[in-house]
């Protein structure tokens, strides 16, 4: 099988996000977590390598991204996408700019595109300004992000501030004209010395157009939307009308979906929420009303982690869903809190130290629960998902059906399928308020009783 697309994703949920879109476009997709080497006998048309490089020092992010790029080259990936967040989560130090520059150099290229837009989730780009629904990025919830607060919305400025080249816009009027016009605009931008082109992207059709125009580029950069655009161009779906987003849908047509005959493990399920974003706060509130739930006791995480882990894992196991039971919801443990509360805790313990401690705690909790018979993990938060996945020793997944746009169920790649784990890894603001219930019910075989979701989010990353 030819590897059409290799993706380097800067966090775990971003990786599952783009993988879901590649699957929806009809590409058989595997996801590998921080692999040390290229796996043998990988049968896939797309491979997504998930890293945890979004908010680590730029130099380390560059090294890890280059290592991933070399693995993809070894697997003979025809095109490479550097996937980052649709809200361009970064600072003036990086890591989007430095990683993009390093990948260009590694691939012997001088030019790429910057396409964070994901219109199905309200991320659009107009006149190079990134919007989150009706607000420019810097007025959205992202202005308060604990690690990468976004204080500018102009993608040309944002990109140039953290990279070595110049960025230029491909205006809306050009994108509207179609793939040939965009291809010509990219050629012209490149000949005039630009290193990054930022196409305006107002809707799903624009992603298709940009995807078609970019089939000749060795490197693309952006959000999961450009993964959809490029994959649909490669599988001949571009230009077909997108179906309305629906339960399990992405807003894009489901091709002969590799996710069609998907089955779940039958062990217990748990919800672990370490995301502090606005939508996750709503999701936690909604799910807490219907399932056993417990808020993380932060001082105990900091001062009595061992005893607290013991206690909490016992609590989860006692409250776990019986296999295939629909009358009891999976228990939830959450650190999720309102921004003022998070700020207070950060002031008490130091933001970085606290984040790391909570992530580590959740990782250890997940590992204990796995030993206790939990096999279905629903995790909220990009960094949190990374920590949990690492602690569970999951090296790779097969990517399955979507719970919400950008959030598929995945199954760990194991030599013995009996040992498999189901994972739903939800980034920040993805999903609608009923996300946790939808995920639990899908995985417990009760999807026919799940309330239809609109497939749209109020706010996400
Ligand atoms: P998101 O995808 O929403 O950004 P992440 O898991 O990537 O979620 O990041 C959220 C960060 O905030 C994590 O490092 C997590 O440990 C930390 N965090 C979560 N809850 C709290 C809290 N109540 N106080 C302080 N930090 C928190």
**What does the domain layout of the chain look like in residue ranges?**
5-241, 268-454
Which atom of ligand 1 lies at the shortest distance from residue 349's CA?
25
- Percentage, residues of the chain above pLDDT 90: 73
pLDDT of residue 250: 41
With contact defined as beta carbons under 8 Å apart, do 354 and 400 qualify?
Answer: no
384 lines ligand 1 (CB under 6 A): yes
As a whole number of angstroms, the distance between CA 12 and CA 275 comes to 13
For the chain, what is the mean pLDDT? 89
pLDDT of residue 40: 79
Judge whether residue 452 has pLDDT over 50.
Answer: no
Which token pair is 367?
A: 């590992």
Is residue 337 in contact with ligand 1, taking CB distance under 6 Å?
A: yes
Check whether 175 has a pLDDT greater than 50: yes
Q: Which of 20, 71, 63, 34 is nearest to 387 (CA)?
A: 34
* Ligand 1 centroid from CA 336, angstroms: 7
Q: Identify the CATH number of the domain defined by range 268-454.
A: 3.40.980.20
Q: What is the pLDDT of residues 27-73, one digit of tens each?
A: 989 899 889 988 877 878 999 999 989 999 999 999 999 999 999 99
Note whether 150 and 162 are within 8 A (CB). Answer: no
CA distance 49 to 303: 35
Averaged pLDDT, 178-200:
98
User: Of 147, 405, 400, 446, which is closest to residue 276 (Cα–Cα)?
Assistant: 147
Residue 321, pLDDT score:
55
pLDDT in tens, 5-14: 999 999 888 8
Task: Give the pLDDT score at 415.
Answer: 63
**Structure tokens of 149?**
């607060």
Q: Looking at residues 293-302, what average pLDDT do you find?
A: 98
DSSP 178-190: -HHHHHHHHHHHH
Q: Report the nearest-CA residue for atom 16 of ligand 1.
A: 355
pLDDT at 16: 86
Measured in degrees and rounded to the nearest 5, phi and psi for residue 436 equal: -65, -40
The average pLDDT across 295-302 equals: 98
What is the average per-residue pLDDT within 414-422?
Answer: 77
pLDDT given at position 254: 40
Any atom of ligand 1 within 6 Å of the Cβ of 276: yes
Asked if residue 242 has pLDDT above 90, the reply is no
Average pLDDT (244-270) is 59
User: Where does 2-105 show beta strands of DSSP type E?
Assistant: 5-9, 29-33, 46-50, 79-83
The Å distance, Cα 146 to ligand 1 centre, comes to 7
| Any ligand 1 atom below 6 A from CB of 383 | yes
Residues 82-91: what's their mean pLDDT?
Answer: 96
- Report whether pLDDT(451) > 80: no
Q: Residue 458: what pLDDT?
A: 32
pLDDT for residue 140 is more than 60: yes
Q: Work out the average pLDDT over 88-102.
A: 96
Tokens of 154: 């102009």
Instruction: Specify whether the CB–CB gap between 78 and 229 falls below 8 A.
Output: no
Q: What percent of the chain has pLDDT over 70?
A: 89
Q: How many helices (H) and strands (E) in the chain?
A: 15, 18
Nearest-CA residue for atom 6 of ligand 1: 381
pLDDT at 126 over 60: yes
pLDDT at 444: 85
Ligand 1 centroid vs 253 CA: distance in angstroms? 33
The CA 222 to ligand 1 mean position distance, Å, reads: 23
Q: Within a 10 A sphere around the Cβ of 236, how many other Cβ atoms? A: 11
Atom of ligand 1 nearest to the CA of 335: 20
Sheet holding 135-136, edge to edge: 123-126, 129-132, 135-136
Of 169-178, 188-197, 351-360, 440-449, minimum mean pLDDT range: 440-449
- Whether the pLDDT of residue 309 is over 50: the answer is yes
How confident is the model over 381-390, as a mean pLDDT?
A: 92
The predicted model gives 374-399 an average pLDDT of 92
The architecture in CATH of the region 5-241 reads 3-Layer(aba) Sandwich (3.40)
């Amino acid at each position: 099988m030819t590897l059409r697309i290799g993706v380097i994703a800067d966090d775990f949920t971003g990786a599952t996000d783009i993988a879901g879109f590649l699957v929806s476009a009809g590409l058989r997709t595997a996801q590998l977590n921080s692999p040390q080497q290229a796996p043998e006998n990988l049968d896939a048309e797309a491979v997504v390598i998930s890293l945890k490089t979004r908010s680590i020092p730029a130099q380390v992010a560059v090294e890890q991204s280059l290592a991933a790029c070399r693995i993809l080259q070894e697997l003979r990936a025809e095109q490479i996408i550097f996937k980052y967040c649709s809200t361009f989560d970064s600072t003036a130090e990086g890591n989007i700019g430095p990683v993009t520059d390093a990948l260009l150099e590694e691939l012997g290229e001088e030019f790429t595109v910057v396409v964070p837009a994901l219109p199905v989730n309200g991320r659009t780009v107009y006149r190079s300004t990134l919007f989150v629904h009706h607000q420019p990025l810097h007025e959205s919830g992202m202005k308060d992000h604990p690690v990468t607060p976004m204080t500018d919305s102009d993608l040309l400025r944002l990109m140039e501030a953290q990279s070595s080249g110049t960025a230029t816009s491909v205006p809306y009027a050009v994108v509207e004209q179609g793939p040939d016009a965009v291809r010509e605009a990219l050629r012209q931008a490149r000949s005039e010395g630009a290193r990054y082109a930022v196409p305006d992207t107002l809707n799903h059709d624009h992603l298709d157009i940009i995807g078609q125009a970019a089939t000749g580029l060795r490197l693309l950069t952006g959000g999961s939307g450009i993964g959809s655009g490029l994959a649909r161009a490669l599988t001949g779906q571009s230009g077909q009308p997108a179906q309305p987003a629906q339960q399990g849908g992405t807003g894009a047509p489901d091709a002969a979906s590799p996710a069609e005959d998907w089955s779940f493990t039958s062990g217990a399920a748990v919800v672990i929420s370490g995301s502090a974003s606005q939508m996750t706060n709503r999701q936690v509130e909604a799910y807490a009303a219907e399932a056993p739930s417990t808020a993380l006791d932060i001082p105990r995480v900091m001062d009595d982690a061992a005893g607290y882990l013991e206690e909490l894992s016992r609590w989860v196991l006692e409250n776990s869903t019986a296999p295939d039971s629909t009358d009891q919801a999976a228990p939830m443990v959450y650190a999720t809190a309102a921004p003022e509360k998070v700020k207070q805790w950060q002031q008490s313990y130091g933001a970085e130290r606290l984040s790391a401690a909570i992530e580590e705690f959740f990782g250890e909790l997940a590992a204990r629960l796995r030993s206790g018979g939990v096999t279905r993990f629903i995790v909220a938060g990009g960094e949190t998902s990374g920590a949990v996945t690492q602690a569970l020793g999951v090296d790779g997944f097969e990517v399955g059906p979507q719970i919400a746009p950008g959030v598929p169920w995945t199954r760990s790649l194991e030599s013995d399928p009996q040992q498999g784990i189901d994972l739903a890894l939800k980034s920040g603001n993805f999903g609608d308020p009923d996300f946790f219930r939808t995920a639990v019910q899908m995985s417990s075989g009760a999807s026919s009783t799940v309330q239809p979701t609109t497939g749209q989010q109020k706010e996400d990353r």
